[in-house]
């Protein structure tokens, strides 16, 4: 029996959620508010400069990643999907001609799904085929590159502030660890010297922090369910194993985030764990395993991946 396509399954799930799950205090469905983005596109006729440019805007539920013979990274595949050639009738020329369609995101949803277009229809054999090519993907996605200029202006300041805050937090953590290690070494050697310089460094880093929340554009703040930073963290991967598009094995890989307080009760630590869902068997896996799901053979290969607002 032929397998069912995961993309079709995902579409059906979203359709049911859109109909039955409404957001509290809002008229929109959960899907429209938190998973749906808006894509703005322009169509330019390749054969006639007199043909008017056609501008459109439409909702999208996934960001496609096209895979060609030169695609090595997810970024390249997404950019390829945002600039493509289509065939469409030209009223001025009175025939079908090639048009260039250029698309950019004008609304980023909180939850973003990237779909790897690995299955396609092979005309010479008249069968569905799978692209096995290795395509690397990141653990963090910066989607500002795929946005309209208008949206970029709104998200870039917040994105940069988030990155700076993350960098400072990591530096603070390293300073605390160095101070803690030095304290333990001094205690073991019965040394009474102070490690106050390291502690002072950690405290000094906490001064004059810019709160990214304060930089959020008012329009984006009012748009509940949108992403004001452009940053996404990978939280799940759906993979397909096998070379045949009509058979194989699907698996899910999900990131679980748990919080705990540090021993000195000063820092809230986030513990990230990845889990493999192989039918009824659930197993913990290291993060390095997730990065190996980039394809290149018949083993588990990334097909789609949901991310969430960082």
> Based on the domain organization, do 104 and 155 belong to the same domain?
no
What is the predicted pLDDT for the residue at 193?
Answer: 47
Q: Can you read off the two tokens belonging to residue 167? A: 């960098």
CA distance 215 to 157: 7
> Based on the domain organization, do 213 and 240 belong to the same domain?
no
CA distance 307 to 289: 17
> Based on the domain organization, do 168 and 60 belong to the same domain?
no
Domain membership flag for residue 275: yes
Domain boundary among 170, 204, 226: 226
> Based on the domain organization, do 72 and 125 belong to the same domain?
yes
> Based on the domain organization, do 19 and 125 belong to the same domain?
yes
Query: Residue 216, Cβ neighbours under 10 Å: how many?
Result: 19
Residue 190 lies in domain? 148-226
Query: Residue 44, Cβ neighbours under 10 Å: how many?
Result: 14
Q: Residue 135 — φ and ψ, nearest 5°?
A: -130, 110
C-alpha torsion sign, points 15, 17, 22, 24: negative
**pLDDT tens figures, 5-30:** 777 888 899 999 998 888 776 678 99
> Based on the domain organization, do 54 and 67 belong to the same domain?
yes
Find the CATH number of the domain harbouring 23.
3.90.70.10
Q: Residue 289 — φ and ψ, nearest 5°?
A: -65, -35
Total count of domains within the chain: 2
Residue 77 has pLDDT above 80, yes or no: yes
> Based on the domain organization, do 17 and 79 belong to the same domain?
yes
> Based on the domain organization, do 153 and 138 belong to the same domain?
no
Q: Can you read off the two tokens belonging to residue 208? A: 């004059």
pTM of the entire predicted model: 0.81
**pLDDT tens figures, 40-70:** 999 999 999 999 999 999 999 999 999 999 9
> Based on the domain organization, do 191 and 134 belong to the same domain?
no
> Based on the domain organization, do 132 and 245 belong to the same domain?
yes
Among residues 163, 156, 168, 165, the alpha carbon closest in space to that of 228 is found at: 156
Region for residue 230 given its phi and psi (left: phi exceeds 0; alpha: psi -120 to 50; beta: otherwise)? left
3-state SS assignment for residue 220:
helix
Domain membership flag for residue 1: no
CA distance 240 to 252: 9
């Amino acid at each position: 029996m032929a397998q069912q396509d995961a993309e079709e399954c995902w579409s059906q799930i979203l359709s049911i959620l859109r109909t039955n799950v409404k957001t509290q205090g809002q008229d929109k469905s959960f899907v429209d508010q938190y998973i749906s983005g808006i894509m703005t596109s322009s169509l330019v006729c390749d054969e006639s400069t007199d043909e008017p440019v056609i501008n459109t805007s439409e909702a999208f539920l996934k960001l496609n990643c096209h895979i060609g013979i030169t695609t090595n990274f997810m970024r390249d595949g997404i950019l390829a999907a945002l600039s493509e050639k289509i065939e469409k009738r030209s009223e001025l020329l009175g025939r079908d001609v090639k048009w260039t369609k250029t698309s950019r995101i004008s609304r980023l949803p909180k939850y973003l799904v990237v779909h790897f277009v690995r299955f396609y229809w092979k005309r010479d054999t008249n069968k569905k085929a799978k692209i096995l090519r290795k395509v690397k993907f990141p653990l963090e996605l910066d989607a500002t590159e795929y946005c309209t200029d208008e949206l970029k202006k709104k998200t870039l300041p917040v994105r940069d502030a988030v990155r700076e805050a993350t960098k400072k937090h990591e530096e603070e953590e390293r300073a605390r660890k160095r101070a803690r290690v030095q304290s333990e070494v001094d205690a073991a050697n019965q040394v009474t010297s102070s490690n106050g310089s390291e502690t002072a460094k950690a405290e000094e880093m906490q001064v004059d922090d810019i709160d990214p929340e304060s930089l959020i554009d008012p329009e984006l703040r009012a748009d509940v369910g949108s992403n004001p930073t452009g940053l996404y963290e990978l939280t799940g991967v759906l993979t397909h194993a096998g070379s045949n598009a009509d058979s194989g094995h699907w698996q899910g890989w999900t990131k679980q985030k748990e919080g705990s307080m540090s021993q000195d009760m000063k820092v809230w630590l986030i513990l990230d764990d990845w889990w493999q869902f192989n039918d009824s068997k659930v197993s913990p896996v290291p993060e390095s395993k997730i990065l190996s799901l980039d394809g290149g053979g018949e083993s588990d290969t990334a097909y789609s991946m949901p991310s969430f607002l960082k």
